[in-house]
Amino acid sequence: MENNPNNSPNNNNKNPDGERPKGQMWPALIITLVLVLLFSWVYNGVVSSQYTQTTYSDFLTAMEADQLAEVEVQRERGRILYMTKEEAAKDPSVQKACYTGLPSGDHMELLDRLYAMDVTVNEEIVEDNSMIMMVIYYVLMFSVLFFFMRSLTKRMGGDGMMGGFGKSKAKVYMEKQTGVTFKDVAGQDEAKESLQEIIDFLHNPQKYTAIGAKLPKGALLVGSPGTGKTLLAKAVAGEAAVPFFSISGSDFVEMFVGMGASRVRDLFKEAAKVAPCIIFIDEIDAVGRSRDTRYGGNSEHEQTLNQLLNEIDGFEPTKGIVCLAATNRPEILDKALLRPGRFDRRIIVDRPNLQGRLDTLKVHTRKIKLSEDVDLRKIAQATAGAVGADLANLVNEAALRAVRQGRQMVNQEDLLVSFETVIAGTEKKNTVLTDMEKRLVAYHEVGHALVAALEKHSQPVSKITIVPHTSGALGYTMQMPEEEKFLSTAQELRTELRTLVGGRAAEQIVFGVQTTGASNDIQRATNLARAMVTQYGMSDTLGLMTTASVQSQYLDGQAYMDCSQTTAYEVDQEVKKILDSTYSETKQLLTDNRALLDEISEYLLVKETITGDELMAYVNADKQKLPAPDATTEE
Question: What residue type is assigned to position 53 of the chain?
Answer: Q
Residues paired with residue 70 on neighbouring β-strands, in sequence order = 83, 120
Question: What residue type is assigned to position 129 of the chain?
Answer: N
- Angle ∠(114,119,124) on CA atoms, nearest 5: 75
Residues paired with residue 476 on neighbouring β-strands, in sequence order = 465
Collapsing DSSP to helix, strand or coil, 450 comes out as: helix
DSSP string, 304-342: HHHHHHHHHHHS-GGG-EEEEEEES-GGGB-HHHHSTTS
* 547 Cβ contact partners less than 8 Å away, ≥ 6 residues apart: 533, 534, 561, 562, 563, 567, 568, 571
Cβ-count burial 67-101 (b if 16+ within 10 Å, e if not):
bbbbbbbeeeeebbbbbbeebeeeeeeeeebbbbe
How many CB atoms sit inside 10 A of residue 436's CB?
Answer: 10
Specify the DSSP class assigned to residue 433: -
With beta carbons less than 8 A apart as the criterion, state whether 302 and 308 touch: no
Strands across the sheet containing 68-74: 51-53, 97-101, 79-84, 68-74, 120-123
- Angle ∠(549,550,556) on CA atoms, nearest 5: 155
Collapsing DSSP to helix, strand or coil, 440 comes out as: helix
Q: Tell how strand 244-248 and strand 476-479 pair up.
A: unpaired
Q: Which residues are catalytic?
A: 445
Distances (CA, A) of 144 to 35, 281, 466, 578: 12, 39, 69, 78
With beta carbons less than 8 A apart as the criterion, state whether 476 and 518 touch: no
DSSP string, 397-432: HHHHHHHHTT-SSB-HHHHHHHHHHHHH-SB-TT--
Collapsing DSSP to helix, strand or coil, 174 comes out as: coil
- Relative orientation angle of helices 502-510 and 490-500, to the nearest 10 degrees: 40
CA pair distance 519, 320, nearest whole angstrom: 56
- Angle ∠(549,550,554) on CA atoms, nearest 5: 165
DSSP H helical ranges for 557-633 = 565-592, 594-607, 612-624
